[in-house]
């Protein structure tokens, strides 16, 4: 006497093809995406033995040796620096500005930024320097 084998039927959706497609899409987007490193502005600040660390900085202004001015790592002009200073003073009266000027920057560029800060009514302005290395 022979018995019939019980046949098992699978109920439900086969998920393997869906998982394969998801992984293929993931690999495609990972390979096709380009990652851009954020640009860093390299400034060689002057040295000073009387340097102290600035506690709280609201705006950072960088002046390169070729005269380019960056406000919070975005290139700008001296006219827009004045407008940004005035807008920031309206939001925060106790504004602290840090000026990172390259050691080879002309004094004219630094003075024009200091004049813009004074015109906007900013009283707390600091110049970034380095402590000299001992040899």
Domain that holds residue 106: 59-127
- The separation between CA 95 and the C-alpha centre of its own chain, rounded to angstroms, equals 19
Instruction: Report the candidate in 131, 134, 133, 127 with the shortest Cα–Cα distance to residue 50.
Output: 131
pLDDT score recorded for residue 97: 87
CATH number for 90: 3.30.420.270
pLDDT score recorded for residue 9: 72
In a domain, 79, yes or no: yes
Sign of CA dihedral 118, 123, 128, 131: positive
Q: What is the pLDDT along the chain (135 residues), one digit of tens a residue?
A: 677 776 777 677 888 999 999 999 999 999 888 777 666 666 666 666 666 665 666 788 889 888 889 988 888 888 898 888 888 888 887 788 888 888 888 889 889 989 998 888 888 888 887 777 766
In a domain, 3, yes or no: no
In a domain, 23, yes or no: no
How many domains in the chain? 1
pLDDT score recorded for residue 45: 67
In a domain, 75, yes or no: yes
In a domain, 76, yes or no: yes
Q: Is 47 helix (H, G, I), strand (E, B) or coil?
A: strand
In a domain, 113, yes or no: yes
In a domain, 32, yes or no: no
In a domain, 100, yes or no: yes
Q: Is 100 helix (H, G, I), strand (E, B) or coil?
A: strand
Q: Read off the pTM.
A: 0.59
CA–CA separation, 38 vs 134, rounded Å?
32
pLDDT score recorded for residue 21: 96
């Amino acid at each position: 006497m022979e018995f019939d084998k019980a046949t098992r039927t699978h109920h439900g959706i086969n998920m393997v093809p869906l998982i394969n497609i998801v992984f293929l899409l993931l690999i495609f987007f990972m390979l096709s995406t380009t990652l851009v490193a954020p640009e860093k502005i390299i400034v060689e600040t002057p040295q000073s033995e009387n340097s102290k660390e600035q506690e709280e900085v609201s705006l950072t202004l960088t002046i390169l040796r070729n005269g380019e001015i960056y406000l919070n790592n975005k290139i700008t002009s001296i006219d827009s620096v004045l407008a940004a200073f005035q807008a920031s003073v309206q939001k925060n009266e106790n504004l602290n500005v840090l000026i990172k000027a390259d050691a080879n920057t002309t004094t004219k560029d630094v003075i024009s930024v200091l004049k813009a800060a004074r015109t906007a009514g900013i009283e707390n302005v600091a110049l970034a320097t380095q402590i000299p290395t001992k040899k």
